Structure 1
């Protein structure tokens, strides 16, 4: 039988803390799934690799270029046999440069790039249209094996366009060719027509009382059935 005492207890606590620390570090170092959904690593001569080499604070990890905090700034998924970027693609919404060339992608990427407001360079197969169309980018260049869409435009700053947001709302970019409207302070609801802040206290009060009432009703029903059985 192992001896017990304060020393053993301290050793046990130290082992537990070390295990928790190791698990925490492993979790922190875990790459997002989008970086490993395709085998291999960023190709040395790809635009993502060249971008990553511009700063000593950036590093290549699998198919991603990340900063020291693990934020994805570059994503190289070229030659991955992708018909679409996949369900994990939104994890790369912070990316500045993305390479998707040499993939059998569908032509219309639609809303795939919702939230990709930092994206400056997108490399695509020649046959695939730039998200939002060419007019959503400052520059579109065609090369022998790919197409490069550069510097997405801010639709909220477009002139000559009809007003996209209601009077009490403001426009925010939401990716290439995309925008969204948010209500200004003091307004909420449909078309930001309701004045005053949205009462979370009232909402959760109503939700809580409703849940409590339903729970009590179900409990009373089950209790009555138990007595009659």
Structure 2
């Protein structure tokens, strides 16, 4: 048996610690851009901070409340001089609580919150309407300088229109006041009329052959032009 190299366990421990530190730094750098879009941090008495402190597994980082996987559950962008939430706002589609008060926001925010199906508490400036209107929320509370849209409704349960979606589709929420039709398993395409799984191999095969044909045609055309005196 070969003699054990002295000091080897200590060096292995040092390498392991360095690896964990590097992974921690990488995770810190992976913070979603929306969390640092506005300087400062979440205020202690904001709706986002109060929600985040209810569960020990949640952490406050810059303007976000995150779970252990880095998923945004709360976003506080109050007093950020925002006319609109910006292109990175969709990173917070999983948020349960969002605070946008004290911002010069445009009034119509319906499409801004498309896909925000988990949102239950939204704090807005007093002059900005709740996305989807009052019928999209269980309660709308107005205060002196802000309003709170509370409890997003699932409008699929209250539309009363059985023909809204095709026979092989089902209604699904798509954000405050928004709905979408989702095809049942085994169906796809226009009005969910095509049966069977969507063939990605066929799609990319057709796309690749079309691209190759166009490329060869253009190459041949340009070559003939180059040979013409």
| TM-score range normalised by the length of the shorter chain | 0.7 to 0.9
Task: Tell me the residue number matched to 1:198.
Answer: 198
Q: How much has 1:180 moved relative to structure 2?
A: 0.9
Q: Show structure 2 runs of 5+ residues with no match.
A: 1-14
Q: Secondary structure at the match of 2:87?
A: coil
1:57-206 paired onto structure 2 within 5 Å: 57-161=57-161, 163-206=163-206
- TM-score, scaled to structure 1: 0.83
Question: TM-score scaled by structure 2?
Answer: 0.83
Unaligned runs of 5+ in 1: 1-14
Q: Secondary structure at the match of 1:107?
A: coil
Corresponding residue number in structure 1 for 2:8:
none
Distance 1:185 1:47 in 2: 39
What are the superposed Cα offsets for residues 171-206 of structure 1, whole Å, 9 maximum, x if unpaired? 111111111112112322221223333332322222
d(CA) in 2 for partners of 1:206, 1:53: 52
CA drift of 1:149 comes to: 0.8
Secondary structure of the 1:50 match is: helix
Look up the SS of the partner of 2:171 in the other structure: strand
- Tell me: CA distance 1:119–1:203, structure 2 relative to 1, closer, same or farther (3 Å): same
How far apart, in 2, do the equivalents of 1:225 and 1:105 lie? 56
The secondary structure found in structure 1 opposite 2:119 is: coil
Question: Equivalents in 2 of 1:67, 1:220: separation in Å?
Answer: 56
* 1:50-95 alpha-carbon deviations (Å, 9 max, x no partner): 1111111111111111112211111111111111111111111111
Alignment of 1:56 onto 2:56:
yes
How big is the alpha-carbon RMSD for the aligned residues of Structure 1 and Structure 2? 2.3
Distance 2:210 2:225 in 1: 23
Equivalent-residue separation in structure 2 for 1:224 and 1:74 (angstroms): 61
Q: Please identify, of 49-58 and 197-206, the stretch whose mean Cα deviation from structure 2 is larger.
A: 197-206
Structure 2 residue matching 1:103: 3-state secondary structure: coil
